[in-house]
Amino acid sequence: MPNAVDLSDEIQKIISHAAMICKRAKVNTKLSAYDPDPMSLDAYKKSDSWEYPQQGNSWKQAIMNEIDNLKKFDVFKIRPLSSVPSGTKIFSIVTGYLTKITKASTPDHEEVDKQKCRMCLGGHKAIESVHYN
């Protein structure tokens, strides 16, 4: 990308803009007129929507719904760490959060439909008959 962009050159202007967008996307910057969602569980716990939101469900409820669904489909079992044999690989969980807004929302008046949480495990690292049947 050039240091200076000639805005009269349409091609250079488009390519420079695309490169700028790609660069922003890599640093997890949400390109939106709406406020970004927090990036960590601690930040969610400190937010106004943790337990008693003004609109939609709470972040706490979204997390509990995801855990309940995983338990319902027997995705995992909770065991004390002391019962896990030494040297056994324990997979980490990646958690994603998203605020879903209604179609009637505008940047000036945001209408929250619901908060969503997804928990994902690196299943591609699991070995059949070792980590699952």
Per-residue pLDDT band at 132 (split at 50, 70, 90)? confident
Residue 19, pLDDT score: 46
DSSP three-state, residue 104: coil
Contact, 125 vs 92, CB < 8 A? no
- Side-chain half-sphere CA neighbours of 58 within 13 A: 12
Percentage of residues of the chain with pLDDT beyond 70? 75
Q: What is the pTM of this model?
A: 0.63
| pLDDT range class, residue 3, cuts 50, 70, 90 | very low
81 vs 52: CA distance, rounded Å: 33
d(CA 86, CA 71): 25
Q: Return the bridge partners of 120, or none.
A: 94
Is pLDDT at 100 greater than 50 in this prediction?
Answer: yes
Give the Cα separation of 37 and 110 in Å (integer): 13
Q: How much is the pLDDT for 24? A: 43
User: Cα–Cα distance between 92 and 24 in angstroms, integer?
Assistant: 27
